[in-house]
Structure formats: structure tokens, C-alpha cells
Amino acid sequence: MTVFKDRFLGKVALVTGCGSGIGEAVVRRLSAEGAQVVLAGHHLGKIKAVADSLPAERTACFEADVSKLDQIEHLVEFAVGRFGRLDVLINNAGVSAPGTLLEGPESDWRMISAVNIDGPLFLSRAALPHLIKTRGAIVNTASVSGLAGDWNTAYYNVSKGAVVNLTRTLALDHGADGVRTNSVCPSVVETPMTAERREDQAFVQRMVDRVPMKRLARPDDVAAAILFLASDDAAFINGVNLPVDGGTTASTGQAAF
Ligand SMILES: NC(=O)c1ccc[n+]([C@@H]2O[C@H](COP(=O)([O-])OP(=O)(O)OC[C@H]3O[C@@H](n4cnc5c(N)ncnc54)[C@H](O)[C@@H]3O)[C@@H](O)[C@H]2O)c1
């Protein structure tokens, strides 16, 4: 991993869903690049286990379920109270469940829409007054499944499509306030979210075959893109939904000639 020394020095970043996977890679990079980091997740033990290896004076943990409005508001108050400002919001927490519209129970949609849509939407709303003060940045973890459809993950596709358009909406309405909003759109990443599915070697092979770069994404591939979009290096990049997919979405979807 290339660490850009002090790129986030003096900046305060709030990251959700960082007890594992992409979020964990993001907080490790942010901390290595000098940020004060607030780790948020709904399992305190998981985020504390990550925080334990980071500098204590620049690290804080807050247990919050991003699908719950009151907890979201407390989370933002905690972050600003702890470090005095907020420069970066990374809406990364997310959940998935398999199934077509006919197969997935209503409870799956309620859960997925609450975490994947309500979470980033209301957390952005709570954080915006503070981000406007610092001319900060929001980065959402969307998905290639929000740029086009994927088979057998109906509710997830719809939820990530909403995140993609939330990104554009915030970029339009708050670009003039100095707040940039972008998202990353990964293909299948080697994280706990896909661990069970990846036990099926035939599934992994099918997925790898469709990626021009012939491998799955790694958490650090995605974290590096998130940090770029959150940093001043991306000062004039706003409203972008960036595929991190080894070229998968470069295809029309047709088979090779
Ligand atoms: N793994 C993939 O293939 C893939 C592909 C594209 C996008 N994504 C997205 O990346 C993001 C991170 O997922 P990951 O792959 O690192 O998987 P992960 O399961 O390791 O991380 C998701 C994190 O979100 C947290 N979380 C779940 N519900 C929450 C809630 N209600 N409140 C607070 N935290 C909650 C979990 O505890 C977990 O730490 C998600 O938004 C996911 O949809 C993942």
C-alpha cells in the first residue's frame, strides 16, 4: 500500500461499517495518512478491535446502527464533540441478501433499504452543516450493482442505484457550498460480505472470467480510490460514481466476439 504522508493531517474523518472489509482498510489508510478518525459500526467489539492498533489520541469509536435516525444524529454530535470539526464522511456500512423480487422476503427489503439507503441519506443530512463549515467531502460506497443490474440480488441492486443517485443529488445541491460528493462502485470484493459465496469455486471462477483484469477486487483497491476521492487531490471531482471493477463495466455485457 502506498501511503501519501500527511495527506489528511488535521482532518477529521467519520467512517461507517469499519469493523471489517473495505471500511477497515479505509480507516487504516486514513490513520496512516494523518487523519483523526471516528470509527462507527453496530458492533462495538469489531470496531474497537480495529481501533486498538491505531494511535489512541487520533482515534475514537462510536457504536451506531446507521439505519436508526437518532443514533445517526448522536454519531455526528459525538464526532464533532470529540475532535471539534468534520472534514470527511465515508458512508460505507452496507448489507446484502440474495434473491429475486419473488424470492426475497419483505423483511430483507426493509433491512437493506434502511441500512443502504436511509443510512447514507440521513447521515449525510446530519453531517452536511459541519461539512459545509470545513468545505469537506462525502464518499459513498455504492457498487457496480448500482450502475447496472446484477442477477439474483434484486433489493441490493435497487438500494445501490439509490446511492448512485444520492451521490449525484448531493453533488448538485451542495457543490456550491464547497462540499464534494462522490462514490466508489466496486465489483465483487474479497470481504466478509462475500465470504460465504466465495466458498463456491465455480462462482469465483465465473466472476473472475468476467473481469478484464482476471481477479476479484481487494479491500485495499477500493480504500485507495475512496481516499483519493476524499482528498484534496480530487478538489474538482464532484458527482462521480467511480467503478473499481478491473474494467468490468467497460463491457456492453455481450459475450466476446
Ligand atoms: N464485498 C463486495 O463484493 C462489495 C461490492 C460492492 C460494494 N460493496 C459495499 O461495500 C461496503 C462495505 O462492505 P464490505 O464488502 O466491506 O463488507 P463487510 O460486511 O466486511 O462490511 C460491512 C460493514 O457494515 C457494517 N454494518 C452493517 N449493517 C450496519 C448497520 N446497520 N449500522 C452500522 N454498520 C453496519 C458491518 O458490521 C460491517 O462491518 C458495503 O456498503 C457494501 O455494500 C461490497
**Rounded distance between C-alpha atoms, residue 9 and residue 34, angstroms:** 4
**Span 219-234, average pLDDT:** 98
Catalytic residue among 156, 221, 226, 234: 156
Q: Provide the pLDDT for residue 3.
A: 76
| Per-residue pLDDT tens digits for 6-31 | 999 999 999 999 999 999 999 999 99
* Set of cell numbers at residue 188: 465483487
Percent of the chain with pLDDT over 90: 96
Does residue 78 carry a pLDDT above 80? Answer: yes
**Rounded distance between C-alpha atoms, residue 168 and residue 182, angstroms:** 8
Which of ligand 1's atoms lies nearest the C-alpha of 184? 7
Q: Which CATH number goes with the domain that contains 93?
A: 3.40.50.720
| Per-residue pLDDT tens digits for 81-130 | 999 999 999 999 999 999 999 999 999 999 999 999 999 999 999 999 99
Does residue 177 carry a pLDDT above 90? Answer: yes
Residue from 68, 71, 189, 210 whose mutation best tests the ligand 1 pocket (most atoms within 8 A of CB): 189
Q: How many Å lie between the centroid of ligand 1 and the Cα of residue 193? A: 6
Q: Please, which pLDDT band fits residue 53 given cuts at 50, 70 and 90? A: very high
Does residue 222 carry a pLDDT above 80? Answer: yes
Percent of the chain with pLDDT over 70: 100
Q: Provide the pLDDT for residue 255.
A: 86
Task: Count the domains in the chain.
Answer: 1
Q: Is residue 16 part of a domain?
A: yes
* Set of cell numbers at residue 220: 485495499
Q: Is residue 134 part of a domain?
A: yes
Q: Provide the pLDDT for residue 62.
A: 98
CB atoms within 10 A of CB 56: 8
Q: How many Å lie between the centroid of ligand 1 and the Cα of residue 244? A: 16
CA distances for 225 relative to 69, 149, 153, 183, angstroms: 28, 22, 25, 9
Instruction: Map residue 193 onto helix, strand or coil.
Output: helix
Does residue 73 carry a pLDDT above 90? Answer: yes
Does 17 contact ligand 1 (Cβ within 6 A)? yes
Q: Is residue 252 part of a domain?
A: no
Does 16 contact ligand 1 (Cβ within 6 A)? yes
Q: Domain of 143? A: 12-187+219-238
Average per-residue pLDDT in the chain? 97
Q: Are 12 and 57 in contact (CB under 8 A)?
A: no
Q: Is residue 6 part of a domain?
A: no
Does 146 contact ligand 1 (Cβ within 6 A)? no
Could you tell me the maximum CA-CA distance found in the chain, to the nearest angstrom? 58
Q: Is residue 196 part of a domain?
A: no
**Rounded distance between C-alpha atoms, residue 8 and residue 149, angstroms:** 35
| Per-residue pLDDT tens digits for 145-159 | 999 999 999 999 999
Q: Are 46 and 23 in contact (CB under 8 A)?
A: no
**Rounded distance between C-alpha atoms, residue 199 and residue 33, angstroms:** 34
Q: Is residue 168 part of a domain?
A: yes
Q: Is residue 178 part of a domain?
A: yes
- What H or E segment, with its residue span, contains residue 90? strand 88-91
Q: How many Å lie between the centroid of ligand 1 and the Cα of residue 155? A: 15
Q: Provide the pLDDT for residue 249.
A: 97
Does 216 contact ligand 1 (Cβ within 6 A)? no
**Span 38-56, average pLDDT:** 97
**Span 221-226, average pLDDT:** 98
Q: Provide the pLDDT for residue 223.
A: 98
CA distances for 250 relative to 189, 204, 220, angstroms: 18, 20, 21
Does residue 5 carry a pLDDT above 90? Answer: no
Q: Is residue 209 part of a domain?
A: no
Does 124 contact ligand 1 (Cβ within 6 A)? no
Neighbouring C-alpha atoms within 13 Å toward the C-beta of 53: 11
Does 95 contact ligand 1 (Cβ within 6 A)? yes
The question of whether 156 is a catalytic residue gets the answer yes
Does residue 207 carry a pLDDT above 80? Answer: yes
**Rounded distance between C-alpha atoms, residue 61 and residue 54, angstroms:** 11
Q: How many Å lie between the centroid of ligand 1 and the Cα of residue 257? A: 36
Does residue 4 carry a pLDDT above 90? Answer: no
